[in-house]
Amino acid sequence: MSGESRPAGAVELLRHARERCAARAFEEAERAFRAAAGQARRQGQNALRVHAQCELASAWRMCGRYRRAGLLFALTLPAAERVFGPESVEVAKVCNEWGVLGKYTGRFRQAEALYRRALAILEAAHGGEHEDVASVCHNLGGLAHARGDHEAGEPWARRAAEVRARLLGERHPRVAADLAAWAALVEGRGRPDEAEALLRRALAVFEAAYGPEHHDVAAALHNLAALRHRRGDLDDALAHYNRALAVKDAVLGPGHPESAVTLINLGALYRARRQPGEAHACYSRAVELLGRAAPDHPHLAAARRGREAARALPAPPANEK
């Protein structure tokens, strides 16, 4: 038998890609996902090729390459329908992942249609008490929050948290993610004390599970900062926003468009503190990030308006901070 190494198979390449993606080594993950999809195509493994394409699109979304992700999802969904059937759980996965991208890029109507299709498929396949069903409910709640429709979103967030707690236990990090999403909707409905309790409970679980530098920690810190901001505690809000931004920069990279919403909120806080220079810098960075990754996102217009408002603010007297 020869000592030559054989080329890696599609399954092996896909496993490696998933490992690198989980480690947020996105360049290596991209190469492995591409290689897996190519190998699967050559070997006639159509199901595996669909999985590789969907996961590559999700990896592009996670690292902020939204245009590429959207194009690949648009190619992958019809392929999944052909290979697995239009009512398959694999199609539901593509719909859910593409819906997440729609939320991040401000294509809310498209995201809702994709989420609802995924939910109908998963409920038919698994019933209501399944973690994949809880995940889509979580996403529908988050989408409603992004739209500002807190009343519509709260039942979805509550359902996600309750289903997942029954399946995994109340101290599981994925349950904590549901609690954090629910908190944002509860606060939007005028119950700030309840929201803060949910957020602090979620943050404690995240930090115990992941340590101080994790995407879920950053999201909880951002939401807690926003709540304290709206309650008028600007110093506490500033500390939490800055910590959230530092964690996002460490975990996602300093040029990731997901940091834009924290920067926009920081800009608003600095305007409230009569610090126009700091406000302008935050808004300008948000405009740069969103303009590059999601030029039709509604938050981009808000960042531009904030930048102009910051520019119009008078500079504070020299003896003020």
Q: Domains, the chain, ranges and CATH?
A: 27-127 (1.25.40.10), 211-314 (1.25.40.10)
Residue-wise pLDDT tens digits, 231-245: 999 999 999 999 999
Closest residue by Cα to residue 289 from 138, 104, 135: 104
pLDDT number for residue 6 = 44
Q: Is the pLDDT of residue 319 over 90?
A: no
pLDDT number for residue 313 = 83
Average pLDDT of 161-183? 96
pLDDT number for residue 4 = 40
Query: What percent of the chain is predicted at pLDDT more than 70?
Result: 95
pLDDT number for residue 3 = 41
pLDDT band at 317 (very low <50, low <70, confident <90, very high): low
Residue 231 CA to residue 221 CA, distance in Å, equals 15
Average pLDDT of 262-287? 95
Average pLDDT of 109-116? 98
Exposure string of 300-318, with b = 16+ CB inside 10 Å and e = fewer, is bebbbebbebbeeeeeeee
Residue-wise pLDDT tens digits, 2-39: 344 445 688 999 999 999 999 889 999 999 999 999 99
Which has the minimum average pLDDT: 87-96, 203-212, 232-241, 246-255? 246-255
Q: Is the pLDDT of residue 321 over 50?
A: no
pLDDT band at 1 (very low <50, low <70, confident <90, very high): very low
Residue 70 CA to residue 61 CA, distance in Å, equals 8
pLDDT number for residue 2 = 38
Average pLDDT of 304-313? 92
For residues 307 and 287, the answer to whether their CB atoms sit within 8 Å is yes
pLDDT band at 200 (very low <50, low <70, confident <90, very high): very high
Average pLDDT of 170-185? 95
Average pLDDT of 245-268? 92
pLDDT number for residue 165 = 97
Mean residue pLDDT across the chain: 92
Q: Is the pLDDT of residue 218 over 50?
A: yes
Residue 98 CA to residue 82 CA, distance in Å, equals 17
pLDDT number for residue 293 = 82
For residues 57 and 72, the answer to whether their CB atoms sit within 8 Å is yes
